[in-house]
Amino acid sequence: MEDGETDDPLAVLRSRSDEYRAVSILVAWTGGLLSVILSAWIVLVLPHIGAEAFFWLWLVVYLVVDLANTVFLRIRAAQSGRDFVTESTVYAIGKMMPGYLVGAVAGPSYVFLFDDPVAAAAGMTLGAGVLLWGTRRFAPRGLFYLGVFWLLAAAGWWTWHQMGGTIESMSPVAQGAVVMGTNFGGGLLVYAALAQTQVR
């Protein structure tokens, strides 16, 4: 047995829910603060950058969040004296892969084909929601609720935008930054604050 406990990857992941919650809190604080800072910076300093630059900036945030998650999980595995890449790790990545694919298609498509940063922001948020939805059978319950929030928020922003909704005083890029800051960044910070109260 690669995980040293059971040959059921799902059972292994569920048995470590408290550990994953602790890691997810650190990642959420990191990603949430970075997202809010970037959102404010775009709105106040870079409201007229191109849609492509907007996309690349937020892609960096997503990569930082993923890297932070990987680093923190690796540290936890080392502290527990177990391998980092195991059958349960591969299982978890497989469940998250649809979210990565949705984000990788929806975000760039709206930017590079339609030059639409607001819809791109909704698409990237949708990808994050699908990713967490895929972890619903083993991740801490709070992450599932965060994923549902992202799915609903992405659908709401996209629908409002397609119906002609706009913030007249803001450029399209600034509006996209507001979507990302409130949905992605705000969601992460709220999750981190609430989950922090559950850490034993």
Distance from C-alpha of 176 to C-alpha of 116, rounded to nearest angstrom: 9
% of the chain exceeding 90 in pLDDT: 52
Give dist(CA 131, CA 30) in Å, integer.
18
State yes or no: pLDDT of 199 exceeds 80.
no
* pLDDT value, residue 169: 87
Mean pLDDT within 173-180: 95
Q: How far apart are the first and last CA of the chain?
A: 29
Residue 2 in this model has a pLDDT that exceeds 60:
no
What digits encode the pLDDT tens for the residues 41-80? 999 999 999 989 999 999 999 999 999 999 998 998 898 8
Is pTM beyond 0.75? Reply is yes
pLDDT higher than 90, residue 179: yes
CA atoms within 13 A on the CB side of 34: 17
Q: Which residue has the tokens 């007249």?
A: 168
Confidence bin at 1 (pLDDT 50/70/90): very low
Above 90 in pLDDT, residue 194?
yes
Calculate mean pLDDT across residues 28-38. 97
Please state, as a whole number, how many other Cβ atoms lie within 10 Å of the Cβ of residue 157: 25
Asked if residues 124 and 106 have their Cβ atoms less than 8 Å apart, the reply is yes
Average pLDDT rounded to a whole number, residues 7-17:
81
Residue written as token pair 């923190």: 72
Dist CA 94 CA 114 (whole Å) = 30
**49/55 Cα distance (integer angstroms):** 10
Q: What angle do CA 20, 188, 11 make, to 5 degrees?
A: 25
Q: How many helices (H) and strands (E) does the chain have?
A: 8, 0
- Number of neighbouring beta carbons within 10 Å of residue 66: 15
Q: What is the pLDDT of residues 98-139, one digit of tens each?
A: 988 888 888 888 888 888 999 899 989 999 999 999 998 888
Mean pLDDT score across all residues of the chain: 89
